[in-house]
Amino acid sequence: MNLKETYNKIARDWFTDHNDDDWWVEGTNKLISLLPPSAEVLDVGCGAGHKTAYLTKHGFRVTGADFSEEMVKIAREQLPSLEFKVLDLYEVDTVGKVFDCVFAQAVFLHIPKKDVLGIFQKVKKILKEGGVFYIAVKEQHEGAPDEKVEVENDYGYEYERFFSYYSVPELEKFFSNAGLGVIYSSVTPVGKTRWLQMIAKI
């Protein structure tokens, strides 16, 4: 089962399970402070639309996009007044418009590192001059692999997902190689996971 099929399968359970996450709030609020009023934001890998709603409440014009049809279906059910697209991150530059911000939370952690720079460059194409790019990924544990497939059964059935893990310098290098300058970085521990949040600007 590929990643898209996995997320289509677990979408309803994932939506319920992640309703109360809050590790992302500090970094996202920092992003909000950097954006102009009524900024246009692409929430790519939006899942069920939790952060799409959060950003919208702060006055931004947000478009949600996810490759999982089931996730987009839930997002549309929850937020019928907002725009959601079925769109793969690999095709982000085909979205058809440019944005003040691309928001990619817990998305690049599913992308093989060999593909990351190419996608960063596609993101840059759809950013307005002075636009910002936010991402959140998981930090690599010392001595642990930086890429692996994890088999999980949190919801009473087995499923698997590919993950990539990063260090702060490694992530900064990806931004630099794509011609983007990092303006914010933070690490937030949640249980055994350490979330890296980073914002870069053209």
The per-residue pLDDT for range 113-144, each reduced to its tens digit, is 999 999 999 999 999 999 999 999 999 999 99
Q: Are 44 and 105 in contact (CB under 8 A)?
A: no
> What's the rounded Cα separation, in Å, for the pair 168 and 124?
20
For the chain, percent of residues with pLDDT exceeding 70: 100
Closest listed residue to residue 89, CA positions, set 72, 104, 78, 73? 104
Strand (E) positions, 113-171?
Answer: 127-139, 147-152, 159-166
The per-residue pLDDT for range 154-192, each reduced to its tens digit, is 899 999 999 999 999 999 999 999 999 999 999 999 999
For the segment 186-202, the average pLDDT, to the nearest whole number, is: 96
Q: Rg of the Cα trace of the chain?
A: 16
| Contacts for 96 with CB less than 8 Å, ≥ 6 apart | none
